[in-house]
Structure 1
């Protein structure tokens, strides 16, 4: 059975808005390519540049780069970010918009990030626009 995932508005580069289903969050990582880019595949060990929106499952937005007007860059596939990002973004094409539903064991676990409004055990949902990788 396929997990029921939130719907995201907007296209690549536009700040998305998420609408959540009435179902519970998936127990495992779910990766849905909302729009496929035509660039190279992201490889582990590269620096990846993204725009993103992060929201707790059924809850509030805790961070997004669109409002700041600037992308972020970080190493991918090397444990520099939460496992759900490493597992879900390596192998995607540059120029893609990807929805990630990240269960707690691949996110912030039981500790959460209270200062960001992420409780322990929260499932995280991200919409990620992969701008570049090098």
Structure 2
């Protein structure tokens, strides 16, 4: 596990439990591959299908979770359809991988945050992302 990052069980497909360290969020965009998948590699411009859970650093309740909806999400990656933190960390990983991503505001929702989701402009957000498929 990368130093300073939350602890997450590495079971692909299982709803994640995210345990935050006492320390502040790491600086910059960080990604840890918890499980290395053996499927096709995701490339910029691909349409990926993922399960994910997003939590504000240090909080317990997710602000968004496809796991909770039991419905994966699909979108084009690397082309600006999602936040920069996703566009820069998901490509290059294989289908079947579980990623833990720490995203500072400048790679997430910016200085305005996403108030409707409870995300402040200074908040680092954390995602657990399971890459289900790519095409």
TM normalised by structure 1 equals 0.96
Retained in 1: the 8 A contact 2:104–2:125?
Answer: yes
Encode CA deviations 1:39-82: one digit per residue, 9 max, x unaligned.
11100001000000000000131010111111000000001100
Match of 1:84 in 2: 85
- How many matched pairs? 133
5 Å-filtered alignment, 1:60-99, equals 60-99=61-100
What CA distance in whole angstroms lies between the structure 2 residues aligned with 1:108 and 1:32?
21
Matched residues in 1 for 2:55 and 2:83: separation? 14
5+ residue gaps, structure 1, are: none
Structure 1 counterpart SS, 2:126: strand
Return the TM-score normalized by structure 2.
0.95
- Structure 2 unmatched runs, 5+: none
Distance 2:10 2:43 in 1: 26
SS in structure 2 at match of 1:66? helix
Higher helix share: 2
The answer as to whether partners of 2:10 and 2:34 remain within 8 angstroms in 1 is no
The answer to whether the 8 Å contact 2:8/2:19 transfers is yes
- The aligned counterpart of 2:32 is 32
Equivalent residue runs for 1:1-134 within 5 Å: 3-9=3-9, 11-59=11-59, 60-134=61-135
Runs of 4+ with deviation above 6 angstroms: none
